Amino acid sequence: MKWKMENGKWKIIFFVPVFLMGENFDELVKFINNSNTVKIYQKNIEIQKQKLKEAKAKNYGSFDFEYDYSHLFQTPQMKMNSMQPVGVNGNLLIYKKIDTQMPVGNKDNFVGMLKYSYPLFTGFAIKNSIEIEKLNLIKSKLDLQNIKRVLILNVANIYAGIYALKEKIKALNEAKKALLSAKEQALALYKEGLINKSTLDEIDAKYYETSADIDETKAKKQTLFNTLGYILNKSIKSIDSLPDIKLKKEHILNRPDIKAIQETLKITQKALDIAKSSLYPKIYFQAGIKKEAENVFLSHNNHQNVDKSFGAVSLQYNIFNGGADKAKIQEAKISRIKTYIFYKDYLNKVKSEYQNDLLNLNAFKKRLDSATKEIKARKSYYEFIQAKFNEGLADVTDLDLAIAKLAEAKAKRDYIKSQIFFYTLKSNIDGGN
DSSP class per residue in 279-334: GS-EEEEEEEEEEEESSTTS---SSS-SB--EEEEEEE--S-STTHHHHHHHHHHH
* pLDDT of the residue at 354: 97
Please tell me whether residue 371 adopts helix, strand or coil conformation. Answer: helix
**pLDDT tens sequence across 191-228:** 877 778 888 888 889 999 999 999 999 999 999 999 99
Please tell me whether residue 205 adopts helix, strand or coil conformation. Answer: helix
Average pLDDT over residues 284-312: 91
CB count, 10 Å around CB of 429? 18
Quick check: 15 pLDDT over 70?
Answer: no
Average pLDDT over residues 33-53: 96
Please tell me whether residue 16 adopts helix, strand or coil conformation. Answer: coil
* pLDDT-derived band at 16, boundaries 50, 70, 90: very low
Burial profile 121-149: b = 16 or more Cβ within 10 angstroms, e = fewer: ebbebbbbbbbbbbbbbbbbbbbbebbbb
Name the residue type at position 9. K
* pLDDT-derived band at 20, boundaries 50, 70, 90: very low
Full-model pTM:
0.83
* pLDDT-derived band at 99, boundaries 50, 70, 90: confident
**pLDDT tens sequence across 102-142:** 888 888 999 999 999 999 999 999 999 999 999 999 999 99
Least confident of 4-8, 39-43, 64-68, 151-155: 4-8
C-alpha span between 306 and 312 (Å, rounded): 19
Quick check: 305 pLDDT over 70?
Answer: yes
Domain residue spans of the chain: 25-62+126-283+323-430
Give the residue with greater pLDDT, 377 vs 396.
377
Nearest to 431 by CA among 249, 271, 270, 179: 249
Q: Of all residues in the chain, what percent carry a pLDDT higher than 90?
A: 73
* pLDDT-derived band at 18, boundaries 50, 70, 90: very low
CB count, 10 Å around CB of 91? 5
Quick check: 346 pLDDT over 90?
Answer: yes
DSSP class per residue in 81-134: EEEEEEEEETTEEEEEEEEEEEE-S-SEEEEEEEEEEEEEE-TTHHHHHHHHHH
Average pLDDT over residues 366-375: 95
* pLDDT-derived band at 21, boundaries 50, 70, 90: low
* pLDDT of the residue at 14: 47
- For CA atoms 280, 281, 286, 291, give the dihedral sign: positive
Nearest to 426 by CA among 323, 354, 342, 352: 354
C-alpha span between 94 and 230 (Å, rounded): 104
Average pLDDT, the chain: 90
Please tell me whether residue 67 adopts helix, strand or coil conformation. Answer: strand
Quick check: 369 pLDDT over 90?
Answer: yes
Choose which CATH entry (2.30.40.10, 1.20.1600.10, 3.40.50.150, 3.30.450.20) describes domain 25-62+126-283+323-430.
Answer: 1.20.1600.10
**pLDDT tens sequence across 236-258:** 999 999 999 999 999 999 999 99
* pLDDT of the residue at 148: 96
Quick check: 180 pLDDT over 70?
Answer: yes
| Inter-residue contact 125 to 274 (CB < 8 Å) | yes
